[in-house]
Structure 1
């Protein structure tokens, strides 16, 4: 879920609070596909009322006011080869943590907590530019190539779904994936808000229990690979310099700020901004993107002094599990 805070992504495109990040078993590799609009057989049941519990969906989020019938009959996403969204392959930093997305489809398997996002994000732009459809079979992940496909299995219920990954997130320390409302419903995660799942990448053409068309994705060019590596180094240096009080001059007034994220791509910075404005709706300070030196920084502030900035940073950490960096401009 930047949601492109999620990006994001604001998904700085960017759910309650957590503990230790789930460890991928292999190296990790935002227009939701309008499957919900397809005709389906006679509906079977409607989801029961949602109970908001610890580790559940995002603050003040929830199901739509009018839940359509037939959610059980909405088909899983159908894995197929799609060109990757190049802006979503660029490294980025959210709340002090650097993410280096995969630039190709790769094997991936992990176990961790899945959460879901609903009407608060419905219709908002995702990290690949498509609007989020809470009734389609989609998901958000911090580093998997976009778009791509994964199988998600509930450890508790044993139910399994295939979703199309089109967004960045979740930016919570204990989460491994954000699911659409329908995907979470089919896994039995709606009432609890979240649950333990196993996530496994599906690469079209490889043996996954189902046969898909064999299409070999193009390998990224060396120049592109070098560019991504350079962006990663630059963002890492960005975090080190801002941590020591250095900041790039921009149009914002001088003072003390919290840096929520840094992106090579402006759209990803905008997605995260929109995501955090919804998630951290208790904020009273201004949130703005300050570009400079090829980096788009998402800043919050200014603050009267460093101690006030650190107080707000601690509150953000309590909410999201990550702490932003205090910077001086």
Structure 2
């Protein structure tokens, strides 16, 4: 039995994304910082060589989650200016100019230690806690998307948020470069969704996975599924965050180790 193997699964693995990272991350566009010298292979940012259509980009599911271990140190300084992270984002709303970032930063660490993927929807903000879920509305065309903020920036004058290339495509301003937007923090019921699975085991044998699935169906009141990639993964859910934590604690021990929380994309 191979428990909690992670190979090949494309979803965010909560908790592991925060491990093995240094305690400091420089923002994606703090380009005058000494520690950033030579970090990027491109001098000018751009989109991918093969543009994406908005229909090719998956939307993201807002969810309740803990603060990242990295990227929330306050204050921090970029280009000689000091920034203070908000102690709480509840009720936060602002309007201003949005820009986007792409290929230059693709594959590099975000401020909270995750890996920036320009093909997925994400965002950078100077002072919101990481992560924070926000709804961004393009005031020029009325399009809105829900976005997870996991990076710092933009530090160009007059811009309030940087969306990933995918986010800018989805909001319809990638060709213009910037757009007037409204940023609203999501809270309450909009975050308390069934957005988590609890992975209790991963097997090379389909029979072993199905045997555990059958057992768990008699123990929990939630759906238990077997998900196939290079392993057969037994997962309980989807469930809300607090339910996921309770299930994780219930099955933590010698038999299962510490089950993984796996979030929807």
Q: Same fold (TM over 0.5)?
A: yes
Supply the distance in 1 between the matched residues of 2:185 and 2:59 (Cα, whole angstroms). 14
Supply the distance in 1 between the matched residues of 2:113 and 2:26 (Cα, whole angstroms). 13
For the residue of structure 1 that corresponds to 2:71, the secondary structure is: helix
The question of whether the paired residues in 2 share the 8 Å contact of 1:9 and 1:127 is answered with no
1:86 and 2:69 are equivalent in the alignment: yes
Q: Match of 1:74?
A: 57
Q: TM-score by structure 1 length?
A: 0.46
- C-alpha deviation, 1:71, in angstroms: 3.5
- C-alpha deviation, 1:105, in angstroms: 4.1
Q: Which runs of 4+ in 1 moved over 4 A?
A: 7-10, 213-216
Distance 1:130 1:155, change over 3 A: same
Supply the distance in 2 between the matched residues of 1:7 and 1:134 (Cα, whole angstroms). 12
Distance 1:120 1:151, change over 3 A: same
- C-alpha deviation, 1:182, in angstroms: 1.0
Q: Match of 2:193?
A: 212
Supply the distance in 1 between the matched residues of 2:114 and 2:192 (Cα, whole angstroms). 27
User: Deviations 1:207-266 (Å, cap 9, x if unpaired)?
Assistant: x5x8736768xxxxxxxxxxxxxxxxxxxxxxxxxxxxxxxxxxxxxxxxxxxxxxxxxx
For the residue of structure 1 that corresponds to 2:55, the secondary structure is: helix
1:135 pairs, out of 115, 119, 132, with: 119
Q: TM-score by structure 2 length?
A: 0.56
The question of whether the paired residues in 2 share the 8 Å contact of 1:89 and 1:103 is answered with no
For the residue of structure 2 that corresponds to 1:87, the secondary structure is: coil
Supply the distance in 2 between the matched residues of 1:87 and 1:190 (Cα, whole angstroms). 29
1:155 and 2:139 are equivalent in the alignment: yes
User: Deviations 1:92-134 (Å, cap 9, x if unpaired)?
Assistant: 0112321111244422100010000010111111011111000
For the residue of structure 2 that corresponds to 1:131, the secondary structure is: coil
1:202 and 2:186 are equivalent in the alignment: yes
Matches within 5 A, 1:1-329: 4-6=25-27, 9=30, 60-68=44-52, 71-90=54-73, 91-203=75-187, 205-206=188-189, 212=193
Larger RCO of the pair (alpha carbons < 8 Å, separation 6+): 1
- C-alpha deviation, 1:75, in angstroms: 2.9
Q: Match of 2:250?
A: none
Distance 1:5 1:157, change over 3 A: farther
Supply the distance in 1 between the matched residues of 2:56 and 2:135 (Cα, whole angstroms). 17
